[in-house]
């Protein structure tokens, strides 16, 4: 059992039950080129135990976290534990002050860090920042600028067991950082691909836009594969116009990360609808599907 290392806008933890009837029977090779928080990766690694996995994200700072957990776990956790020990004894106002001091240091003085220290500092900020939002600001040097979160952690900032699971899972995983096309080159034909690109008309692109033209190119690639899933915001007519031959399904979702919609009674999570394009040798349904990630 495990869960993503951090909250991530658009993360797929709660979506796995909808994917259940369409998951492949088996997976020996897995590729996820829009990685983010990696909820599907967790499920695939736990359920199928593939011989090989390849992950990619265009955000090099997020990728650095995964690389350091894989290759530099000791210095990564040493820095993380130091920040945690400074943070936990403080009252909320002092925690907030410390958060912004660390965020400023990460933005402007990061060159003094080692590779593992920079990754661990960002991870600490993401664990204590606002509700899974990944924001880049001009006043933070174009680097992580998310405001502080609730700052109500009691006895830990991060889960040691989760970090240990990721360290083990990433040992047989190649980690890429760049365009999705680079991540799919020279990989076996029996690979199961899962694509979760930025939603159409989404403003949450984490500093990297993804146009309709790019999505059309991705759909064309997916349409040539035998084991593939592609998720996005629902627009059945638009996706039908792309003349792909994949099956598809729809389901309602609730955005649980980021800012909530203001109502007369306070704030409510935003409702939306998602489409899943897929071509797989499907499993037999929900009764055989075990969700291996935490909520």
Are residues 120 and 199 located together in one domain of the fold? Answer: no
Each residue's pLDDT expressed in tens, for the chain with a length of 295 residues: 589 999 887 667 778 888 988 999 999 999 999 999 999 999 999 999 999 999 999 999 999 999 999 999 999 999 999 999 999 999 999 999 999 999 999 999 999 999 999 999 999 999 999 988 999 999 999 999 999 999 999 999 999 999 999 999 999 999 999 999 999 999 999 999 999 998 876 545 444 568 899 999 999 999 999 999 999 988 888 998 999 999 999 988 776 555 455 555 544 556 778 999 999 987 544 444 444 444 3
Kindly list the distances between the CA atom of residue 31 and the CA atoms of 128, 137, 185, 206, 260, in Å, as whole numbers in the listed order: 30, 31, 11, 21, 32
Are residues 145 and 72 located together in one domain of the fold? Answer: yes
What is the separation of C-alpha 256 from the centre of its chain, rounded to a whole number of angstroms? 14
What CATH number has the domain bearing residue 150? 1.10.1020.10
Query: What does the alpha-carbon distance between residue 162 and residue 109 come to, in Å, rounded to a whole number?
Result: 29
Query: What does the alpha-carbon distance between residue 82 and residue 16 come to, in Å, rounded to a whole number?
Result: 35
For residue 191, the enclosing domain spans 13-59+177-280
What CATH number has the domain bearing residue 260? 3.40.50.150
End position of a domain, from candidates 127, 161, 195: 161
Which DSSP symbol is given to 250? E
- For residue 169, tell me if it sits in a domain: no
End position of a domain, from candidates 137, 161, 185: 161
Considering only CA atoms, which of 159, 196, 160, 203 is closest in space to residue 55?
196
Are residues 142 and 230 located together in one domain of the fold? Answer: no
| DSSP codes, 106-162 | HHHSGGGS-HHHHHHHHHHHHHHBSTT---B-GGGTTSB-PPB-----SS-SS-HHH
Number of domains in the chain: 2
- For residue 243, tell me if it sits in a domain: yes
Are residues 54 and 186 located together in one domain of the fold? Answer: yes
Query: What does the alpha-carbon distance between residue 59 and residue 109 come to, in Å, rounded to a whole number?
Result: 20
């Amino acid at each position: 059992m495990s869960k993503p290392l951090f909250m991530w806008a658009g993360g797929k933890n709660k979506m796995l039950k909808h994917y259940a009837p369409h998951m492949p029977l088996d997976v020996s090779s897995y590729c996820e080129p829009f990685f983010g928080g990696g909820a599907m990766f967790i499920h695939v690694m736990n359920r199928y135990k593939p011989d090989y996995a390849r992950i990619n994200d265009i955000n090099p700072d997020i990728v650095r976290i995964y690389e350091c957990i894989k290759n530099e776990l000791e210095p990564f956790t040493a820095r993380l534990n130091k920040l945690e020990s400074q943070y936990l004894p403080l009252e909320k106002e002092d925690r907030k002050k410390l958060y912004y001091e660390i965020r400023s240091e990460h933005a402007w003085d990061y060159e003094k860090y080692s590779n593992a220290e920079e990754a661990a500092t960002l991870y600490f900020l993401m664990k204590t920042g606002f509700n899974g939002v990944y924001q880049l600001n001009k006043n933070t040097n174009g680097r992580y600028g998310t405001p502080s979160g609730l700052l109500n952690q009691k006895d830990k900032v991060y889960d040691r067991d989760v970090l240990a699971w990721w360290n083990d899972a990433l040992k047989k995983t190649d980690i890429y950082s760049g365009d999705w096309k680079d991540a799919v080159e020279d990989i076996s034909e029996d690979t199961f691909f899962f694509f979760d690109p930025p939603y159409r008309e989404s403003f949450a692109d984490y500093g990297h836009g993804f146009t309709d033209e790019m999505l059309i190119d991705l759909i064309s690639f997916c349409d040539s594969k035998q084991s593939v899933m592609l998720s996005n915001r629902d627009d059945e007519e638009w996706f039908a116009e792309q003349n792909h031959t994949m099956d598809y399904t729809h389901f309602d979702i609730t955005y649980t990360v980021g800012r909530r919609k203001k109502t007369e009674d306070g704030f409510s999570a935003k409702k939306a609808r998602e489409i899943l394009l897929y071509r797989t040798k499907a499993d037999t349904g929900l009764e055989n599907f075990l969700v291996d990630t935490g909520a």
